[in-house]
A = this chain, B = another copy of it.
Amino acid sequence: MTRIGILTSGGDCAGLNAVIRAITLRAIQTYGWEVYGIHQGTHGLMRRPVDAIKLDLSFCNGNLLRQGGTVLGTTNKGDPFSYPFADGTIKDISEDLIEGYRLLKLDAVIGIGGDGSQSILRRLAQQGELKLVTIPKTIDDDLSHTEHSVGFMTAVDVATEALDRLQPTAASHDRVMILEVMGRDAGHIALAAGIAGGADIILIPEIPYSMESIARKIKSLRSGGRNFALVVVSEAVGTESGEKATITDLSGKSRYGGISQYLASRITELTGAETRFTVLGHVQRGGQPVFQDRMLASVFGVHAVDLIHQGKFDRMVAWQNRQVIDVPIQQAIDGYQAVDINGTLIKTARGLGISFGDEKI
C-alpha cells in the first residue's frame, strides 16, 4: 500500500485546501493509496509522535474546496538546517524530519509551498530517502516556469475589490487614495489589481520611480478635471532613494514597510492633495478562493499524485499555455518571475495612461 504525505509550508493563501482535497481524492479514489496530512509544514515531521492525520474521502466533502487557509496549518519559521530552538541554540534537525517521514512509512511527500519552502524540502530530498513532488503556491506569483501559482488570483481579486471601494470615497472627497498591497519582491498583485481596479499610478519594485513624476501625474489629472487619484503600491517598493520604508513599531520593530504612509506624506507635500492610505494586509491571504485558484489547485493536486504514480520525483507541477506540466524543482527555484517590464500588462497599463512613476519630462 502506497502512503503519501501532504504538507503546506510558508505563508498561507487561498486554494491550499483545494489542493489538499484534489490530492486526497485522486490518491484514494484512483490509486487506493493512504494519504497523511502533516501538520504545520515540516514541524509536523519534527514532533514525536509525528504530528499528522490520515485523510479520507469524507474529509473532502462539503466545504473543504471553498475554505481559505490550510486545514493542515503551516509555518514560515524554522529552517530545519539551522533550526532556532527556544533556548537559543541552533541545530540541524533535517535528520529528524527524515526520520519523521520514515516513521509515517511514507513513500513520497507532496510539498505545497513557495520558493523558500520548496528549496528546503528539496534539500531534504537530496539527502536520499525522501521522495518529493512540489506544488507552487504564493500570492506573490513570483515562482518561475508556471504562469500562476495557487493563491495569486484570489489576492488580486481582494485587492481589486479594495480599489472598487476606495474609488467612490476618493471621488467624493477629492482625495488621493493609496492602497498598499502584498508582494514581497515582485509587483504582480499591484500591477494586475491596478489595471483591473482603475488605478492612476502603480508602483512596483521592478520599476524605479521619482516623486516628481508621481506629482506631475496627479497634477495633470487635476488639471484635466479629475478630482481624485488612485495609487496602488507594492509593499516591496522603497522610498524614492531606494531605501526600505519603515514604520517603527511600539516594540521597536517594523512589520509593514510603511511605504504607503511615506507616499501619502510626500504626495501631500508636493501637490497639496489630501491623501489617505490603506494597508490591505492579511485580508489578501485568507477567504474563499476565487474559481481560478480552485481550478489551478485541482489541476495541480491531481497531477502531483500522477507524478508519484509514475515514479517521477523532484518535480514541481506547473501551468503553462493551458496545460499542466512539470519541471525540475531546482529549475523552478533558480528562476524568478518578476514583472516583465516589456510585457503585455505593462504595455497595457501605460496604454491606459497609468503612470509607473518613471516618466521623464
**Which positions in A face B, CB cutoff 8 Å?**
8, 11-12, 16, 22, 25-26, 29-30, 40, 57-58, 61-63, 65-70, 73-76, 147, 153, 156-158, 160-162, 164-174, 177, 192-193, 195-198, 224-227, 247, 249-251, 255, 261-262, 265, 268-269, 276-288, 290-292, 294-295, 298-299, 302-303, 305-306, 320-324, 343-345, 347-349, 351-353
6 CB contacts below 8 A, A to B, read A29-B353, A65-B198, A168-B286, A168-B287, A195-B295, A302-B348
Once bound together, how far apart are the Cα atoms of A349 and B351, in whole Å?
Answer: 39
Beta-carbon nearest neighbor of A57 in chain B: B224
Name the contact of A286 in the complex, choosing from B26, B169, B285 (C-beta under 8 A).
B169
CB distance from A63 to the nearest CB of B (A): 6
CB distance from A289 to the nearest CB of B (A): 8
Beta-carbon nearest neighbor of A293 in chain B: B196
CB distance from A173 to the nearest CB of B (A): 6
Chain B residue numbers with a CB within 8 Å of A299 are: 344-345, 348
CB distance from A87 to the nearest CB of B (A): 15
Interface residues of chain A: helix, strand, loop or mixed (majority): helix
Once bound together, how far apart are the Cα atoms of A198 and B67, in whole Å?
Answer: 12
Once bound together, how far apart are the Cα atoms of A160 and B156, in whole Å?
Answer: 18
Chain B residue numbers with a CB within 8 Å of A73 are: 171-174, 227
Quickly give the copy total for this chain: 4
Whether B302 and A323, one on each chain, are in contact in the complex, defined by CB atoms closer than 8 angstroms, is no
Whether B265 and A261, one on each chain, are in contact in the complex, defined by CB atoms closer than 8 angstroms, is no
Interface centre among A65, A70, A351 (most CB of B within 10 A): A351
Name the contact of A282 in the complex, choosing from B22, B166, B195, B287 (C-beta under 8 A).
B166
Beta-carbon nearest neighbor of A239 in chain B: B250
Whether A294 and B195, one on each chain, are in contact in the complex, defined by CB atoms closer than 8 angstroms, is yes
Name the contact of A322 in the complex, choosing from B171, B247, B287, B343 (C-beta under 8 A).
B343
Whether A165 and B285, one on each chain, are in contact in the complex, defined by CB atoms closer than 8 angstroms, is yes
Whether B165 and A282, one on each chain, are in contact in the complex, defined by CB atoms closer than 8 angstroms, is yes
Chain B residue numbers with a CB within 8 Å of A153 are: 291-292
Known interface pairs A173-B12, A352-B298; A162-B283 also in contact (CB < 8 Å): yes
Whether B282 and A66, one on each chain, are in contact in the complex, defined by CB atoms closer than 8 angstroms, is no
Chain B residue numbers with a CB within 8 Å of A172 are: 8, 12, 16, 69-70, 73-74, 286
Whether A69 and B158, one on each chain, are in contact in the complex, defined by CB atoms closer than 8 angstroms, is no
Whether B287 and A164, one on each chain, are in contact in the complex, defined by CB atoms closer than 8 angstroms, is yes
Once bound together, how far apart are the Cα atoms of A289 and B188, in whole Å?
Answer: 20
Once bound together, how far apart are the Cα atoms of A352 and B172, in whole Å?
Answer: 25
CB distance from A353 to the nearest CB of B (A): 5
Whether B291 and A75, one on each chain, are in contact in the complex, defined by CB atoms closer than 8 angstroms, is no
CB distance from A361 to the nearest CB of B (A): 17
Chain B residue numbers with a CB within 8 Å of A303 are: 348
Chain B residue numbers with a CB within 8 Å of A26 are: 351-352
Name the contact of A250 in the complex, choosing from B8, B174, B261 (C-beta under 8 A).
B261
The list of the 5 closest CB pairs from A to B, nearest first, reads: A69-B168, A68-B168, A302-B351, A165-B287, A196-B291
Name the contact of A294 in the complex, choosing from B65, B66, B196, B305 (C-beta under 8 A).
B196
Name the contact of A167 in the complex, choosing from B164, B173, B286 (C-beta under 8 A).
B286
Interface centre among A167, A169, A292 (most CB of B within 10 A): A169
